[in-house]
Structure formats: C-alpha cells, structure tokens
Structure 1
Amino acid sequence: MNSLFLCVIREHDLRIVLVAAFLCGVGAWVTARLFRRALQTGGLQRVGWHVLTALAAGVAIWCTHFIAMAGFRAGVRVTFDPLLTLLSLFICIVGSVLGFIAAGSRVVPWPSVAGGVLLGSSIAAMHYVGMMAFHVHGQVRWDPPYVIGSGILGPVLSMAALHMALKRTGQGTNAMAGLFAAAILSVHFLGMTAFHVVSTGEGMVPAHSEALKTMTMAVIGMSLVILVMGMVSYLIDDSTRAETIERLRRMALNDALTGLPNRANFNDRLDLEIALATQRGSRLALIGIDLDRFKDINDLRGHSVGDEVLRVLGSRMKALSHEERGEFIARTGGDEFTAICRIGASGEVEGFVDRIEKALSLPIRTDDLEIASGGSLGVALFPDDAADRESLINGADLAMYRAKSNPLQRICFYEAGMDERVRERRALAADLRDAISRNQLTLHYQVQTIVSTGRIRGYEALLRWTHPTRGQIPPGEFIPLAEENGLILAIGEWVLRTACREAATWEPPYTIAVNLSAVQFINADLPSVVRAVLAETGLAPERLELELTESTIFADRERSLEMLRQIRELGVSIALDDFGTGYSSLDTLRSFTFDRIKIDRSFFCSSAATGQTMAIIRAVLALGKSFGIPVVAEGIETYDQLSMLNAEGCEEAQGFLLGHPVTMEDIIRKGQVARVEEAA
C-alpha cells in the first residue's frame, strides 16, 4: 500500500492524475445510468443501449489509462505504439460489450459474476496492452505481486459493481458507478506500481513534450464529448419516457374524445372527496347527467355528428367547472357524464346544476346544422342520501332516471322512496321471468273491421299478465320492463307461437296481427323464428300480419329493413303501427312498401279532436291512397269518429266501439269464430 501511495505521489503529475480520476468518475457515473436503462428495455433496443453503455465504459477505461500515463514521470524518453494503443481501445470496448450483455442476460447463470469477469478482465487486458504500447528508452522491471493483484482486483470490483446494478435501484446504480470507477483506478495504479523504469543515462529529455501535452488535451476533450453524448442520450430518453408515461397516464385517466376525466379518474376523485367530506364533516353533491335524444342524433345525423356534439358539450363542461370550488365533471359513459360539487354554502349545488343544465340546453352548430341537445340531471347528497360511494352513485342514477322519465322535470333530487320503487320494479321483473312457465300470460284479441261494411277482417293479439298477488298488470308497465331485462325475446316468441296456433284453428280464417318489439329486431333472427313458427303451427303465411313502429326500424335501420324483406318473402304481411308519431314517417314509407298503415289512437282521443288533428288524419288517409296502402284507424270509440272515417274513405278500424280485447273463449261464445275441430 505504501508503494502504491509513493507511486502516485512521486512518479505522477498530480494535476493530470486528478483529471484522469475525474474523467473516470464521470465515465463510471454515465456508464451506470446507461446500463440501468439497458436493463429496462428489451430486444434490439436493449442491445443498442448495451453498445452505448460499452462505449461510455470503454472511454472511461481507456481515457483514464491514457491520461494518467501522460502524467507518469518516467524520467526517460517515451513513445506510444499507435497500433497497440488502438488495440487496447478495441479490447476495452469489446470486453465491455460482452460483459454488460452477459450481466443483463436472462439465460446466463450468475450474470453478475460472468459479466464482472469479462468486464474486469477487459480492464486489466486493456491496461497491460496499453503498457506494451508505452515504449521507454530504458530498462523495465515488473513487480509480480502488484500485477497479480491488479488482475484479481479488477474483476472482483467489476462483479460487485454489476451485482449492485442488477438491483435496479437508484442506490444500486450509484454504488455501481463507485465500484466501477474503483475497478478502473485500482487496475491502473496497481499496474503502475508494479512498473519500474531504470534509466540507461542516454537520451535524457523531458518526459512530456508539447505534442504529448496537446494530444492529452485532445483525448480529454474527446472523452468528455463522448461521455456528454452518452449522458445526453440518457437524459433525452429519460425525458421521452417521462413524457410518454405522462401521456399514457393522461390517456388512462382522461376521455380521448372530450378531454374530460374518465370513469377511472372519476372513481378516484369521488373516493377522495368522500374521504375529505367525512374528515371535515362537510357535505358533497353527486350529479348524474344523461343526454336527451342522443341516440336519435347518431341515427339521423351519423356518429361523426354525435362525436362533435360530445366534444362541444365536453368543452362547455370543462369551462364551467371550477376546481378551486371543488367542482369536477367526468365523462363516465357513451352519453353519460357525472359531476361532483362540494357543498359549503347554500345555493352552491343549485347554481352548479343550473350552469350544467344551461350548457346542455344551448344549441350546437355543426356542419351547417343546429342541433338541440339537452340532458336529464339527478342529484344525490353525501351523507344525507348515502354513506358510501356505490350508494351515492346509485342514488344519483335513480334521480337521473326519474328526471329522464318526466319531460317536464329536467333536474331531480334523490328521494328515499326511489329505492323502494326500484326494489318493486326488480321484484316485478323477477316475477315476469317466471310468468310463462307459470301460465300467467294470456292473449286477448281485439277485432279489426272493414269500415264501410262492418265485416270482420281479423284480430290483433294483445298480451295480458295476471299477477298472482297484484292482479292485472298493464302492458305499458310490464312490456318496457321485459325489454329492459331481455325477457321480451322469449315472451315475444311465445306470443307469436300462441297467436299463430290459435289462429290456425279459426273458421272463418281471419288474419291475426302480432306486435313486434324493437329489441326483437336487434337481438333475434326474426325471419328464422317466423318461418319456424309458421311451420310448427300450420298457419298460412298470408294470414299473419306483423306490426312494428317506426322506432323499431330506426333502432338499426339497414338490418331492420333487410329483415322485413326476408319476412315479406315468406308471404307474411307487414303493418306500420302508430303512424304519424315518428319523426320521419314519409321516409319510412319510401324505404319499404308496407301492407298496412295504422293511425295512432292518440289522434282520436277527445282532447286531440281539433281542426289541425282532423287535417292530419285526412292527410294520412290521402297519403295511404296515394301509396296504395290500406289505412287502419286505432282507438275508435264513437260513431262520429267512425262516420268521419267512412266519409274520408278509411278502409279499416279498431277500437272499443267495435270491440274490446277479449279472450278466445269470449270470441267463440259470441259466434264470431269457431274452432275447426269444433265445426267438424
């Protein structure tokens, strides 16, 4: 150890030694960080980082040796062999590449040992090849213990450095830098301690010529450039990775279309706000927001217009919310938004809700179109209405759906009774699920007559549900429930099969009309179902008439029209029900030739009997004549209505005046229909 100290102090220029040590430390620091980045990548990218790491390591090793040798006071003339000098550089770079690849490999056993041996051996090999390139005019003597010590200490310290690096922590990276620098410096200065020059007394000149000094400065400059380039690459990649991570984080937490926070972001924020409200003993409002008529916008204008509407509304909501006031709005579904508002003073919730409602109600201009939007808002309060997140969200949803079901109430606050109504609705849905198997569903039939003669043309099958405890459940209550819960598919098929089976036994062979749901068009292969039912029941196709509304077609227009064409090819008639209540009746008639048009009953109720309403009825009758399509008037309850229809040339009608919906047994008892087996 004393010989090593004396070698450094007496035989070297300390200023140059310090420069070499500084470059060694910088190079080791850069190498450690580049190697850490290599461990974080894979494939060809990892190979590239390993090469860049090896270049930085090679520069650190080679430049430390060369610059320190420039500060060595040999006391005799010295020269450098250029080929051996370049070979030493090649050895340290190649050895470093192999060492770092081995250390980062997942298949090499004991990677830090294998990599350390390769890396430390390349340091030692580089040093002694470099010493072979160092020609002195004198006798050279080597001290073997120091040579052996340098050959052992280099790999050992390199193994320790790589072992720390493979921990992939900040402390491990710093430890690698220190140990790697120690490996380079220990190999060099132990090797120099082993190196002794005995002067022959000839050709004594200063050891450091101006040319050597210039070359030393050039090596220092180039080594700094290379190290800086490696560090800049690391920093640029680190910045790029940070930007990418931040961009991915924003994408993960924000909606791409509107720029608003998404559902995951909303859930985290709501948990935070609930925790703060609990800690402070304050209150919190949750507002559920659902756009009105958004599906109509998509169906009529296209999804691009629908996306533009969402972008505009998202921008408006982003502008109206104030984070400093504890206001937060997120897009949590297709056309659903959710807002949070801290309650600190009276009127804060009302003011925030009013601003949201106003932003939703303002018209939106896009593609030279002015689109009227709007929304339904439901508000639930914490802890007044709920004590946890799920209950609070459920309360806001219940209030929002209540607002959506009432066109006159755009904003609805949660009430305790809403939960009870939901439970009742769920219980009713559960009962409806078993209604077919328990024979609780029956069909009633309402007669359809020829207006001019009063002759029976056919019957419309109407579904009825007799609940075991609640009695008769109105169709307007349980049909939407069946559609919401997916029960309408099984129920609709049961209605079609039962009506066709009954009608197949009738004498005379009247037609039978069966209503179809939009859900059946979306989720069922109706042509196949109709074909199978006709084959099973034996009903002639021309005796079956399927009724559907315009909204049924617009649920999936192209698919619905194609299904109607396939059903028509079976010989089945198609009737357009509730005509005049849709938003594009003429376009519907133009798209498909229906066998019958049914005027909605709402035009014939007493409150609607105005001059304008009668004008609409006459226009529909005239339209049917021009298209050559028979018109059926529903809801006829007075002789005046019937006389008006006869005068205007309406072909068919049904309603309470002509006959209430009754069971099959009632029809047979009245003698209107006889069953084939009974007539025989």
Structure 2
Amino acid sequence: MMSVIACITFEHDLRLVLLAAVICIAGSWCAISLFTRVVATGGLQRAGWLVLSTIAGGATIWCTHFVAMIGYKVDLPIVLDPLITAFSLLIAVIGVGLGFWLATARGPLAPAAGGAIVGLAISAMHYGGMIAYRVQGIVSWDNHYLLASILLAVVFSAAAVHVAVQTTFRHHKAMAAGLFVTAVITLHFTAMTAFRIQPLIVEPGQANAEALLTLALAISGVALLIVISGAASYVIDDRARADSFERIRQLALNDSLTGLPNRASFREFMACEVQAVRRDGGELAMIGIDLDRFKEINDFRGHAAGDEVLKILSGRMRTSLAEGEFIARLGGDEFAAVHRKHNEQSLRSFLDRLEKALTQPIHLDDYQFNPGASMGVAIYPRDAKDLETLLSNADLALYRAKSSKADKICFYEPEMDEAVRARRSLAGDLRDAIASDRLEVHYQVQTSVSTGEIKGFEALLRWNHSERGYIPPAEFIPLAEEEGLILRLGEWVLRRACADALTWDPAYRVAVNFSPLQFIHANLGALVISVLMETGLAPRRLELELTESAIFADRDRALHMLRQIKSLGVSIALDDFGTGYSSLETLRSFPFDKIKLDASFIREVERSPQAIAIVRAVLALGKSLDIPVLAEGIETEGQLALLHQEGCDEAQGFLLGRPATLPDILEKAKGRVVRFAAGR
C-alpha cells in the first residue's frame, strides 16, 4: 500500500494525476448513469443506451490511463506506438460493452459477472497500453503487484455494476460511480507500482515534457467531449422523463375538458387545507355546486354545446377566484369550491362571485342559454370534524338546494339534512334489496261483483326492511323514482309477477301497475315482449295498469306505445280514474280494456250522495263505451251491495281479500266463492 502511495506521490506529475482523477470521476458518473438507463429500458431503446454507456465507460478508462501514464516521471525518451494505443482503446470499449450487456441478463449473478468482465477489460486495456509505451530501458514487472492490480479491478468493477442495477438502493448511482472510479484508479497505480525500468542509455536524453503535456491535454479534451455528450444525452432524457411525468401528473390531476383541477386534485387540496386549519385555526368552507338545466342543453343542443357551456362556466369561475380560493370539476355538471373563511362577509362575497359567474347568459350561435346552479355549503370544523363528513354534509346541503325552488344556496343544517341523510340511507338499502332480490310481491284478488268469481290478482310490491320491517309503498316508490331506481324496480315486479302467474291453476289474469316515470323512459313494448318470452306467460293473462298522468307527459308517444302493447294481446287498464285529468278524450283516443274507479269515491258512497252520483256516472260511462269498470277499496258489505245494485263489473278491496304472498293466495283461491245475499 505504501509503495502504491509512494508511486503516486514521487513517481508521477501530480497535476496530471489530478487531471486523470477528474476525467475518471466525471466519466464514471456519466457511464454509470447511462448504464442505469440500460437497466431500466428495453428493446431498441436499451440498445441505444448500451452503446452510449459503452462508449462513455471505455473512453473514461482509456483516457484516465493514458493521462496518468503520461504523468509517470521517467528521465528517458518515450515513444507511444499509435497502432497499439488505438487497439487498447478498442479493448476497453469492447470489454465494457460485453460486461454491461451481460450484467443486464437474467439471473442473480449476472451483474457481478458482467462487472468482472469490465474489470478484466480495464486490466487488458492497461497492460495493452503499456506495451505501446516504448522507452530506452529494460522493462520488468513485479508479479505480486501485477496480480493484485487485476484482482482489484475485477472486484471493484463487479461491485460497481452490481450496485448500479440495484435501483432500490438509496444513492445507488453515486455508490456505483465511486466503486467504478476505485476500480480504474487502483488498477492503474497498483500496476504502475509493479512497473520497473532499467535504463539503457545509448544516446543520453530526456522525455519531451511539453509534447507529452500537450498529448495529455488533447486526450483530456477528447474525454471531456465524450463525457459531455453522454451527460447531455442523460440530461435530455431525464428532462424528457420529467416533462412526461409532469404531463401525466397534470392529466391525472386536471380535468381534460375544462382545465380545472379534478376530483383527485380536489381531495388532495382539501386534505392539505383541513390540516392547515387544524394547525393555524380558522374555518374552511366547502361548497358543492350542481348546474341547473344542464341536461336541457345536452338533450336539445347536443353534447358539443354542453361541453362548450362547461368550458365557459369553468372559465368564469376560475377568473372569479381570489387568493386562497379553489375550484374543481368533480365530473359531469358537478363542481366543488373551497374558501378559507375569514369572516361571514368573505364567504358571502365568494358565493356571490360564483353565483354571478354561473347565472350570466351564454350565447351559443343563435341560442341563448340562461344557466344557473344549486350550491350546498358546509363549514369545517363547525359542521364536521373530518374531511369525509365535511364532504358528505356539503352534499346534503346541495341536495336540499336542488330540491328547493326558492333557495339556490343552502348551508348545512343538521336537523333538516339528517332527514335527507336518512332518506339517502334508505335509498341505498332499497338499491341493495333490488340487487339481492330481497323484495316481495303480494297479490290482491279481483272478483266479479255479480258472481263472486275470481277474475285475477293485482301484483303489489312490498319491502320487508331488515330493521324497519314492512315499509309502505307510498314511502319507497317515490324514493325509487327520485333515485332513478324505478325502472329496475318495475322490471323486477313485472318479471316476478309473470313468473308467479304461470304457476296458478286456474290460469288467472295478473295485473301489474306501472309508474309514469317507467312509462316515459322505458321501452315498454320491448320489455313486455322480453318478459313474456322469458317466462312463457300468455299475453292475454297480463294486464298493465297506468294512470292518465303517464299518458299526458307525452300523449302521442304514449298512445302509440299502448297500441303496440295491446297488439300483443296484453290488456291495458286505466288506473285511479276520477282523481287525475279524467279526460274523456283519453278514453275516446284509446280503447282501454278496463277502467279502475279510485277507492276515494268508494269510501264515501254510504254517506255521500255526491260520491254515489260520481260512481253511477263512471259506471254509465263504462257501459256506454263498452269498457268494464273495477271498483277499488271495497271494505264493507254496504259498499259491495251498492256496486252490485249499480251494475259494477269487478271489485277489489280488503272485504274480498287482503294482499297476501303467493302461497297464501293459492291456498285461499282453492274452492273460493264469494256469496251474495239474495236480492242484492
């Protein structure tokens, strides 16, 4: 060790040693950095990085060696064989390329094996280069130092390449570059310690120091160019990767249509703001925003117009923001805003700015759209103690604002909004009940008033909640309509009722009620055909009940659809007659198979002459149009007797049979006869 240090200190020009060290450090860093790209890529890209790292590594080894070799002090004339010198460079480049290539192969020993080949290449280059070193003297070698130099080069090179491929190591590139520098330096100076010259002076003279210095500088210049080229490639790629990452990050955190932050960015910002409020105090306002009448634009002007509206409104809101305020698009026509509340006035100012941005008219070609929005506000930490609850409470306030005709900005109010939360929870339970087939269909008998003969059964949906027990249809049917579940619910009931009716003997008719929303949005004709084919029920055994309100939403379309369904052989009944429009034009335009008289009139017939008059009028209308009339809500013998006397065709109510499950209905239907007193 001391001999090596003495060789460096006393037998070399320290200026050139320092220059060689700079070349070695810079080149090693460049070569290892480029090699890490080889490890991280594949295909042609890997091949390109392999070529660059090979040139950088081979040139670094060769330039370091020859600058340091020129710095070796010898008072004898020196000549460098150009052919052998060039060949030594080729050895370095080929050896490094082969080692780097092998290091990227599969297997746990591949990096170390590849690094060992690089170490052998360093050694072969050095001793090949020393053959080109011609001096007037007898050259000899100390074999111990010679073998030690090769061993050091192999060990440190293997370690350097092994560390370079371990990307999980912290600072692995710096460690690998340091080991590579050590491999080159220890090989050179240990080998130079092994180098011995016995002068044979035929003609006394000295080495041309200026010429050698010039050569060293030239070699250093070449090395510098190679290192700069490799480093530039690495930096360009690194910058490109950083730019690509930033673009991907921008796409991940920003809405592509409006340029506003998206849901992920919003949640990230909110989490930071909540932490800041916890640390510094104060309050944070979270505002949920939902555009009004946006569906109108998409439906009547197309999605391109809808996108344009979103971009215009987003731009307006963005320009209305003050310092510390934030706006994001969560999806569709939903937005969210954040305001660090200083006082009530600052929050009110922010809401006013948002409202102004969202209500000014928008001109699209020859069309003027008057936008608007509902906003729900929740304050942290007054209304919530954590981020999730804050978002939920703002959403509840927004839901109330959307339902209100007067207040388009609603603040979270526990008493009012908890009722909304409970309703939403019930809606979630209903959604789960539909998905898991936990609903029930009960059936109520419909009989002939004159004979008591069973004519059919009406299918009535029931929901036995796991905690609340049976929930009235008047509560969960409107909820299903509000939450967009009514189409699934109606299809489920129709399919179950048809499947159940197929098991009845005799083959009674089954009546299924349809909601106006089902009638508006669903393709009833296709659905009815699909269910009948799936269950095998004869069309004549199915009766669909609907109210006039379902027809009046789109009269022409509704009547066309009813004619399609009736052409299948399915019966159509007009339900709740007398409570809605009760339009004679509707009865004239469509030949209904049955009119169902609403129960509200039947309840009054025993004590109200007006109710009796209405019942008589409807029954007379049915006879004149040749449409059977079914009276609902029969609960007393007196009501049934009056209907019998007035010539009503069919009846339905608790007196004749309460709604029951399918097994109960089948049991009661066996041998069932409704008896009437003589003369009724």
TM-score tier, shorter chain, comes to 0.7 to 0.9
In the alignment, which residue of structure 2 is the partner of 1:311?
311
Change (3 A) 1:55 1:464: closer
In the alignment, which residue of structure 2 is the partner of 1:156?
155
Query: 1:308 deviation in Å?
Result: 2.1
Q: What letter is aligned with 2:270? A: L
2:492 is the counterpart of 1:490: yes
Change (3 A) 1:341 1:442: farther
Contact 1:464 1:475 survives alignment (8 Å):
no
In the alignment, which residue of structure 2 is the partner of 1:96?
96
In 1, the alpha carbon distance for the partners of 2:496 and 2:207 equals: 108
In the alignment, which residue of structure 2 is the partner of 1:176?
176
In the alignment, which residue of structure 2 is the partner of 1:531?
532
In 2, the alpha carbon distance for the partners of 1:671 and 1:244 equals: 82
Change (3 A) 1:84 1:473: same
Q: Which moved more, 1:197-206 or 1:58-67?
A: 197-206
In 2, the alpha carbon distance for the partners of 1:378 and 1:137 equals: 95
Query: 1:539 deviation in Å?
Result: 0.7
Q: Which of 365, 374, 377 is 2:375 aligned to?
A: 377
Q: Equivalent residues in 2 for 1:455-470 (5 A)?
A: none
Q: Equivalent residues in 2 for 1:616-635 (5 A)?
A: none
Query: 1:231 deviation in Å?
Result: 0.9
Q: What letter is aligned with 1:224? A: L
Change (3 A) 1:317 1:309: same
Change (3 A) 1:332 1:162: same
Q: Which moved more, 1:522-531 or 1:428-437?
A: 428-437
Q: What letter is aligned with 1:480? A: E
In the alignment, which residue of structure 2 is the partner of 1:592?
none
Q: Which of 339, 352, 356 is 1:354 aligned to?
A: 352
2:123 is the counterpart of 1:124: yes
In the alignment, which residue of structure 1 is the partner of 2:362?
364
In 2, the alpha carbon distance for the partners of 1:221 and 1:397 equals: 68
In 2, the alpha carbon distance for the partners of 1:561 and 1:99 equals: 82
Q: Which moved more, 1:419-428 or 1:370-379?
A: 419-428
Contact 1:328 1:341 survives alignment (8 Å):
yes
Contact 1:546 1:575 survives alignment (8 Å):
yes
Q: What letter is aligned with 1:287? A: I
1:402-460 Cα offsets, whole Å, 9 max, x none, are 11122332111222222134325644885895999666676999xxxxxxxxxxxxxxx
| 3-state SS, counterpart of residue 536 of structure 1 | coil
1:127-168 Cα offsets, whole Å, 9 max, x none, are 011112223343222222221221112112223333443454
Q: What letter is aligned with 2:492? A: A
Contact 1:601 1:635 survives alignment (8 Å):
no
In the alignment, which residue of structure 1 is the partner of 2:522?
521
Change (3 A) 1:258 1:150: same
Q: What letter is aligned with 1:491? A: V
Contact 1:442 1:464 survives alignment (8 Å):
no
Query: 1:72 deviation in Å?
Result: 3.4
1:344-387 Cα offsets, whole Å, 9 max, x none, are 21222222222222222222334554333222111122233222
Structure 2 portions without partners, runs of 5+ = 448-457, 602-609, 611-623, 652-671, 675-680
In 1, the alpha carbon distance for the partners of 2:551 and 2:240 equals: 54
TM-score (norm 2): 0.73
1:591-648 Cα offsets, whole Å, 9 max, x none, are xxxxxxx9x96799xxxxxxxxxxxx9xxx8xx9xxx96699999999xxxxxxxxxx
In 2, the alpha carbon distance for the partners of 1:389 and 1:444 equals: 55
| 3-state SS, counterpart of residue 79 of structure 2 | strand
In the alignment, which residue of structure 2 is the partner of 1:335?
333
Q: Which moved more, 1:178-187 or 1:79-88?
A: 79-88
In the alignment, which residue of structure 2 is the partner of 1:589?
none
In 1, the alpha carbon distance for the partners of 2:348 and 2:582 equals: 39
Change (3 A) 1:512 1:228: closer
Q: Equivalent residues in 2 for 1:470-509 (5 A)?
A: 473=474, 477-478=478-479, 480=481, 483-484=484-485, 486-493=488-495
2:405 is the counterpart of 1:407: yes
Query: 1:187 deviation in Å?
Result: 1.4
Change (3 A) 1:123 1:652: farther
1:325-362 Cα offsets, whole Å, 9 max, x none, are x3222222322111222222122222222222222222
Change (3 A) 1:515 1:244: same
Contact 1:377 1:400 survives alignment (8 Å):
yes
Change (3 A) 1:54 1:466: closer
In 1, the alpha carbon distance for the partners of 2:202 and 2:161 equals: 47
Q: Which moved more, 1:368-377 or 1:234-243?
A: 368-377
Contact 1:7 1:193 survives alignment (8 Å):
yes
In 1, the alpha carbon distance for the partners of 2:164 and 2:90 equals: 24
| 3-state SS, counterpart of residue 230 of structure 2 | helix
| 3-state SS, counterpart of residue 487 of structure 1 | helix
Q: Which moved more, 1:659-668 or 1:210-219?
A: 659-668
Change (3 A) 1:378 1:226: same
In 2, the alpha carbon distance for the partners of 1:362 and 1:250 equals: 30
Change (3 A) 1:301 1:466: same
In the alignment, which residue of structure 1 is the partner of 2:648?
672
Query: 1:498 deviation in Å?
Result: 9.3
| 3-state SS, counterpart of residue 423 of structure 1 | helix
Q: Which moved more, 1:489-498 or 1:75-84?
A: 489-498
1:77-136 Cα offsets, whole Å, 9 max, x none, are 433333322221122112212323344444142x45323321211111110111122233
In the alignment, which residue of structure 2 is the partner of 1:344?
342
In 2, the alpha carbon distance for the partners of 1:515 and 1:282 equals: 50
In the alignment, which residue of structure 1 is the partner of 2:604?
none
Q: What letter is aligned with 1:142? A: W
Contact 1:115 1:162 survives alignment (8 Å):
yes
Change (3 A) 1:525 1:91: farther
In 2, the alpha carbon distance for the partners of 1:73 and 1:482 equals: 92
Q: What letter is aligned with 2:345? A: G
Query: 1:229 deviation in Å?
Result: 0.7
Q: Which moved more, 1:180-189 or 1:111-120?
A: 111-120
In the alignment, which residue of structure 2 is the partner of 1:648?
none
Query: 1:46 deviation in Å?
Result: 3.6
Query: 1:653 deviation in Å?
Result: 14
2:191 is the counterpart of 1:191: yes
| 3-state SS, counterpart of residue 540 of structure 2 | coil
In 2, the alpha carbon distance for the partners of 1:218 and 1:131 equals: 19
Change (3 A) 1:74 1:479: closer
Contact 1:123 1:184 survives alignment (8 Å):
yes
In the alignment, which residue of structure 2 is the partner of 1:422?
421
In the alignment, which residue of structure 1 is the partner of 2:32?
32
In 2, the alpha carbon distance for the partners of 1:512 and 1:671 equals: 25
In 2, the alpha carbon distance for the partners of 1:32 and 1:203 equals: 47
In the alignment, which residue of structure 2 is the partner of 1:58?
58
Change (3 A) 1:260 1:17: same
In 1, the alpha carbon distance for the partners of 2:64 and 2:463 equals: 96
Query: 1:243 deviation in Å?
Result: 1.7
Change (3 A) 1:194 1:574: farther
Q: Equivalent residues in 2 for 1:386-401 (5 A)?
A: 386-401=384-399
Contact 2:258 2:310 survives alignment (8 Å):
yes
In the alignment, which residue of structure 2 is the partner of 1:279?
279
Query: 1:526 deviation in Å?
Result: 0.6
Query: 1:274 deviation in Å?
Result: 2.5
Contact 2:459 2:513 survives alignment (8 Å):
no
In the alignment, which residue of structure 2 is the partner of 1:261?
261
Percent identity reads 38
In 1, the alpha carbon distance for the partners of 2:124 and 2:261 equals: 59
2:205 is the counterpart of 1:229: no
Contact 1:361 1:374 survives alignment (8 Å):
yes
In the alignment, which residue of structure 2 is the partner of 1:609?
none
Q: Equivalent residues in 2 for 1:562-581 (5 A)?
A: 570=568
TM-score (norm 1): 0.73
Q: What letter is aligned with 1:539? A: R
Q: Which moved more, 1:56-65 or 1:242-251?
A: 242-251
Q: What letter is aligned with 1:29? A: W
Q: What letter is aligned with 2:107? A: V
In 2, the alpha carbon distance for the partners of 1:576 and 1:231 equals: 83
Q: Which moved more, 1:97-106 or 1:561-570?
A: 561-570
